[in-house]
Amino acid sequence: MKLLHIDSSILGDASVSRAISAAIVASLKAAHPGIAVTYRDLGATPIPHLSGAYLAGQSADVKHDQALQEDVALGGQALAEFLDADIVVVGAPMYNFAVPSQLKAWIDRILVAGKTFRYTASGAEGLVHGKRVILAVSRGGIYEGTAAAAVEHQESWLKAVLGFIGVTDVEVIRAEGIAYGPEHREKALKAAQDQAAGLKAA
């Protein structure tokens, strides 16, 4: 079994989403001894955002310079890691109502026509099936079940994107209101870590 662990927070050790994703991975490693883990830290080593040169470089007719070769190879590696994983754990903090741009850049490398989705006469069809995805979500405010949910484009967007490519097994472990003060932050993080510890193996 293979697990892909993605972190996208820019806050390093001070990150709540990183603490949650680490707890999720620890729980899964305990449940699946011998599981192979691949780790990608998008905060420390970002994947470049999409460029016109990158999109053009997907064609065999385009001559690649070294920079473009490296970019295309990186995109292919990110996609291969995702497709190869049985379980994907994504640390996703909220920045200004949405995901970090670093995470968006990674998403742009795994949403690839002909690889993870395709268009048919009846519309788009996801091509990724049988993959378990767990989102480690953190946000400063409280959105779940409140009027603020209308401007939450983090968790809802990730679920929509994953659903588009066929991933329907998506679990969410979230810590909300972490900007409300140290006590609230600690309580929310502890609840999320406890939820991670109780994850089922399958």
pLDDT of residue 60: 65
| Residue 97 annotated as lining a ligand binding site | yes
Residue in the block written with tokens 């679990």: 171
| Residue 128 annotated as lining a ligand binding site | no
When comparing pLDDT for 132 and 65, which is higher?
132
pLDDT digit string (tens) for 138-190?
A: 999 999 899 999 999 999 999 999 999 999 999 999 999 999 999 999 999 99
| Residue 94 annotated as lining a ligand binding site | yes
Percent of the chain whose pLDDT exceeds 90:
84
> What distance in Å separates the CA atoms of residue 92 and residue 155, rounded to the nearest whole number?
8
| Residue 130 annotated as lining a ligand binding site | no
The residue-averaged pLDDT of 32-44 equals 96
| Residue 117 annotated as lining a ligand binding site | no
| Residue 119 annotated as lining a ligand binding site | no
> What distance in Å separates the CA atoms of residue 147 and residue 149, rounded to the nearest whole number?
5
SS (HEC) of 13-77: HHCHHHHHHHHHHHHHHHHCCCCEEEEEECCCCCCCCCCHHHHHCCCCCCCCCHHHHHHHHHHHH
Query: Does CATH place domain 2-197 in 3.40.50.360?
Result: yes
53 alpha-carbon distance from chain centroid: 25
Query: pLDDT-derived band of residue 8, with 50, 70 and 90 as boundaries?
Result: very high
| Residue 122 annotated as lining a ligand binding site | no
Helix (H) or strand (E) run with residue 172 in it = strand 169-175
| Residue 95 annotated as lining a ligand binding site | yes
| Residue 181 annotated as lining a ligand binding site | no
| Residue 88 annotated as lining a ligand binding site | no
Among 35-39, 64-68, 83-87, 120-124, name the one with the lowest average pLDDT.
64-68
Regarding pTM above 0.85, the answer is yes
| Residue 141 annotated as lining a ligand binding site | yes
Q: Which residues contact 155 (CB under 8 A, 6 or more apart)?
A: 92, 135, 137, 172, 174
| Residue 114 annotated as lining a ligand binding site | no
Percent helix, strand and coil across the chain, each to the nearest 5: 40, 20, 35
Number of Cβ atoms within 10 Å of the Cβ of 190:
12
pLDDT at 34 over 90: yes
Q: Please name which of 116, 119, 43, 45 lies closest in space to residue 76, comparing C-alpha atoms.
A: 116
pLDDT digit string (tens) for 48-80?
A: 998 777 777 666 666 667 777 788 888 999 999
**Domain ranges (residues) in the chain:** 2-197
